[in-house]
Amino acid sequence: MSTVQVQASQRGAKKGLQAEKHKLPLAVRENLVGYLFLLPWFIGLFALTLGPMLGSLYLSFTRYDLLSAPQWIGLANFSAMFSDIRFLDALRVTAIYVFLSVPLKLAVALLVALALNRGLRGLGIYRAVYYVPSLLGGSVAIAILWRQIFGQNGIVNQGLALLGIHGLSSWVANPDTSVYTLIILAAWQFGSPMLIFLAGLKQIPHEMYEAAGIDGSGPFNKFFHITLPLLSPIIFFNLVLQLIGAFQAFTPAFIVSSGSGGPYDSTLFYTLYIYQQGFGYFHMGYASAMAWVLLIIIAIFTAVAFTSSRFWVFYQDER
Amino acid sequence: MRTYQVARPPVRWPKVLIHICLIVGAVLMMYPVIWMLSASFKPENAIFSDPGLWPQQFTFKNYVSGWNALGTALGFGTFFWNSFVVSVGAVIGNVISCSMVAYAFARLPLKFKPLWFALMLGTVMLPYHAIVVPQYILFKSIGWINTFLPLIVPKFLATDAFFIFLMVQFMRALPRELDEAAKMDGCGPIRLFWRVILPLSTPALVTTAIFTFIWTWSDFFSQLIFLNTLQIFTLPVALRTFLDSTGTSSYGGLFAMSILSLIPIFGFFLAFQRLLTEGISTTGMKG
């Protein structure tokens, strides 16, 4: 913070002579240009981000259907959640999705990155092929495809039929399996964390492995005592990013269930339920309250990740 | 600086084995998409009965029926155009606004800069759902629902803080001497931005442009909320309507249009593959 100010004042001093030509003091004038450049962002921040955040906080204490004025009902929206079975379903489904898809995705990403980081030929091609699903995966088109893949006549059941397993029903229409098809869809998009892992692995000095080799360490020792600790900042980064992303997943659940979150709420992601409440039933107050609960949940998870990182994330320069 | 070295395997597993695993993995990864591509060229009744990847009977019928399925005058052309307008608008907005803001953060003296910067970073993590209801109410009150404005105007107001951060990192790394030299030549901060910083930041601008395009092209949630009439639907919303209106009766057309909708993303990927993969590796984008 202070270096910025010192730099500014130094530059101000240098240009002192020039500034006399202008009416405004230099510091003000230089700041003015900076704030002029920030202007679009300020408008966006206050009108489209902070304003709406406060707005939704206010609405969360009201009953509001867009037609009549918001009606203050205190904490009723929040207390209603605890007895709302669908809300609890949404929490449960989202928890399953987040806690299974994030570790699975990261594990696959790390595994493939490790395999690719061996000076293989054709690295560029592998990297590209494994990365493509990350780019495509969030689209409606892929969600539509997923719905068919795991449908009754989809390629999964066709493949299983080849193995002699016949007569299976649709995986997406079965409430016991539907959410797992979405978890697989999430894991399929492991490309971008993989690229980040790959970049991290390249930073680990080769001499460390050589030294460990001389000491007689095997591959498992090397992995657990060199690779994993040195990669932990990257793992942490990917973990936070994927956690936040997973809590907000919407498109696949919406498309696979035709917006219903079914069968039997088995794919009712939290965000999908917010959408249904807000833009299906126009319960804007309840939807806002749910949005704030989500915000708090995400904030708690991020905070836990950051505090726990002290115990498992290893920064080289700290030694 | 540490010397750059591709880490060699600590223990040499037979490389062939790794190659085989990686190739099998790659085939499994791409199989669903290739299957959809193949299915889009199969006659409707053969999609689930002809298991081969190469269609026994090759037809373009699905593309014709799918294109006209929703009954708009220009067929799916309408939705492609709408998606194109929204995506290009978002790209222009993000490139202009984020570069301006990033320049101020990276190179200009600003009072309370750390405070603003922290606020900016805070909004990177903010879930869109926490602000969408009031945004909807705001846009509704000024008559913007069912127009592209709610999808484009926010980009001109630098609401995608992630790209600001990306560009700040890039502009900070440009040598400081440039500023001094430009000042010597009587170049003010605005001309410095336009003539020096912006041209030198081209890689960051291109990365921003490509990711903005791809993400806007495949974004669904905000387009679903703000667009309600068929004529102004973008591709994702149109595909969803197609899916709901035909149910399971017209896979062929649905697959054909899905494939078409993925082509621009795939094209960008092929054209800018290096830039995209390196952009992710160096900035840690969610991609």
Rg (Cα) of chain B, in Å, rounded?
24
DSSP letter string, A78-110: HHHHHT-HHHHHHHHHHHHHHHHHHHHHHHHHH
Chain B interface disruption, residue of A4, A37, A189, most B CBs within 10 A: A37
Nearest-neighbour CA in chain B from A15: distance (Å): 9
Task: Tell me the CB-side half-sphere exposure of residue B129, using CA atoms within 13 A.
Answer: 31
Task: Residue A251: name the closest of A143, A111, A97 by CA.
Answer: A143
A45-54, A114-123, B72-81: segment of lowest average pLDDT: A114-123
Query: Is B259 close to A141, i.e. CB distance below 8 A?
Result: yes
C-alpha dihedral sign at B189, B195, B200, B202: positive
Instruction: State in Å, rounded, how far the first CA of chain A is from the last one.
Output: 26
Contact A237 B284 (CB under 8 A): yes
Residue A204 neighbours by CB distance under 10 Å: 19
**pLDDT (tens digit per residue) in B21-47:** 889 999 988 988 998 998 888 888 777
Give the CA-trace dihedral at B214, B217, B222, B228, to 10 degrees.
Answer: 180
What integer pLDDT is reported at residue A115 of this predicted model?
87
> Model confidence at B238, in pLDDT bands (50, 70, 90)?
very high
Contact A201 B109 (CB under 8 A): no
| Measured distance between the N- and C-terminal CA atoms of chain B, rounded to whole angstroms | 29
What is the topology classification, in CATH, of domain B77-283? Answer: MetI-like fold (1.10.3720)
Ranking B56-60, B123-127, B272-276 by mean pLDDT, the lowest is: B272-276
Give residue-wise pLDDT tens across range A231-276.
888 898 889 889 988 999 999 999 988 888 878 888 999 999 999 9
Report how many helices (DSSP H) and strands (DSSP E) chain B contains, helices first. Answer: 15, 0
Average pLDDT over residues B153-167: 92
Judging contacts by C-beta atoms under 8 Å, the chain A residues touching residue B31 are 155
8 Å CB contact between A308 and A249? no
User: Mean pLDDT over residues A16-39, rounded?
Assistant: 70
In the numeric block, which tokens belong to residue A294? Answer: 């989500």
CB contact under 8 A, A38 and B104: yes
**Long-range pairs, A121-130, Cβ under 8 A, ≥24:** A121/B19, A122/B19, A126/B22, A126/B26, A127/A195, A127/A198, A127/B277, A128/B269, A128/B273, A128/B277, A129/B26, A129/B29, A129/B30, A130/A190, A130/A191, A130/A194, A130/B25, A130/B26, A130/B29
Most confident of A175-179, B4-8, B222-226: B222-226
pLDDT average, residue stretch A12-30: 57
* Number of Cβ pairs < 8 A linking chain A and chain B: 302
A37 and B103 within 8 Å at the Cβ level: the answer is yes
Q: In sequence order, what are the residues at sequence separation of 6 or more whose Cβ sits closer than 8 angstroms to the Cβ of residue A139?
A: A251, B217, B218, B220, B236, B261, B262, B265
Tell me how far the alpha carbon of residue A57 is from its chain's centroid. Answer: 23
Q: Cβ B109–A12 below 8 Å, yes or no?
A: yes
Higher pLDDT: B274 or B93? It is B93
Using CB atoms, pick whichever of B22, B97, B114 lies closest to residue A41: B97
Minimal CA separation from A83 to chain B, in Å? 22
CB B222 within 8 A of CB B209: no
How far apart CA B195 and CA B182 sit, in angstroms, is 9
- Name the residue among B119, B190, B284 with its Cβ closest to that of A33: B190
The pTM of the full predicted model, rounded to 2 decimals, is 0.86
Which chain B residues touch A141 with a CB distance below 8 Å?
239, 257-259, 261-262
Paired tokens of A128: 């590209």
Residue A62, H or E segment: strand A62-63
Lookup result for tokens 């293989």 = A120
Strand, coil or helix: A74: coil
Q: What residue ranges do the domains of chain B occupy?
A: 77-283
pLDDT band at B247 (very low <50, low <70, confident <90, very high): low
CA distance B56 to B34: 15
Q: Which residues have a Cβ under 8 Å from the Cβ of A210 and sit 6 or more positions away? A: none
Beta carbons of A202 and B164 less than 8 Å apart: no
E strand or H helix at B124, and its extent?
Answer: helix B113-125
Of B35, B132, B214, the CB nearest to A155: B35
Note the Cα B9 to chain centre separation in Å: 36
Average pLDDT of the segment spanning B99-126: 89
Counting Cβ atoms within 10 Å, is residue A135 exposed (0-12), middle (13-18) or buried (19+)? buried
Which whole number is the average pLDDT over B141-161?
93
Q: Which amino acid makes up residue B36? A: M
Match 């905070």 to its residue by tokens: A303
Residues of B in contact with A291 (CB under 8 A): 127, 129-133
* pLDDT, tens digit, 9 for 90 and up, residues A103-156: 999 999 999 998 888 877 888 888 888 998 988 888 999 998 998 888 887 888
- Best to test chain B binding among A24, A28, A38, A301 (most B CBs inside 10 Å): A38
The answer to whether A80 and A286 have CB atoms below 8 angstroms apart is yes
Q: How far is CA B198 from CA A4, B104, B150, B248, in A?
A: 22, 12, 27, 50
Instruction: For Cα atoms B89, B213, A255, give the angle at the middle one, nearest 5 degrees.
Output: 105
Residue B53 distance to chain A (closest CA, Å):
11
Q: Which residues in chain A are contacts of B284 at CB distance < 8 A? A: 196, 237-238, 241
What is the per-residue pLDDT for B111?
85
Strand residues in B178-280 grouped as ranges (E): none
The verdict on a CB contact (< 8 Å) between A31 and B29 is no
Instruction: For residue A8, give every residue at least 6 positions away whose Cβ sits within 8 Å of its Cβ, in sequence order, or none.
Output: A27, A30, B109
Average pLDDT over residues A200-219: 82
ipTM of the complex: 0.85
B110 contacts on A by Cβ (under 8 Å): 4, 31, 34-35, 38
Residue B88, both tokens: 């290009």
The DSSP element (H or E) to which B113 belongs, if any, is helix B113-125
CB contact under 8 A, A192 and B214: no
Cα–Cα distance between A317 and A312 in angstroms, integer?
A: 15
Provide the token pair at A65.
Answer: 């259907």
Residues from chain A that touch B21, judged by Cβ atoms under 8 A, are 115
pLDDT tens across A75-96, in order?
999 999 999 999 999 999 999 9
- Tell which wins on pLDDT, B190 or B276: B190
Compute CA B14 distance to the chain's CA centroid, rounded to the nearest angstrom: 39
Backbone phi and psi for residue A175, each to the nearest 5 degrees, phi listed first: -60, -20
Under a CB-based contact definition with an 8 Å cutoff, are residues B277 and A195 in contact?
A: yes
Which residue among B13, B140, B154 places its CB closest to the CB of A48?
A: B154
> What's the mean pLDDT when you consider all of chain B?
86
Who contacts B90 (Cβ-Cβ below 8 Å, separation ≥6)?
Answer: B151, B152, B155, B212, B213, B216
- B218 CB neighbours in chain A (<8 A) are 136, 138-140
| Rounded Cα–Cα distance for residues A44 and A113 (Å) | 38
What is the distance of C-alpha A276 from the center of its chain?
A: 21
- In the predicted structure, residue A32 carries a pLDDT above the cut 70: yes
Q: Is there a contact between A274 and B5 if contact means CB atoms under 8 Å apart?
A: no
Residue B286 to residue A202, Cβ atoms within 8 A? no
pLDDT of residue B85: 96
CA distance A290 to A297: 10
Percent of chain B with pLDDT over 70: 91
Q: Do A291 and B132 touch (CB under 8 A)?
A: yes
CB contact under 8 Å between A288 and B265, yes or no, is: no
φ, ψ dihedrals at A77, nearest 5°: -60, -40
Residue located via tokens 């912006």: B198
The domain ranges of chain A are: 16-47, 79-318
In CATH terms, the fold of domain A79-318 is MetI-like fold (1.10.3720)
| The pair of three-digit structure tokens given for residue B217, joined into one six-digit string | 């092209």
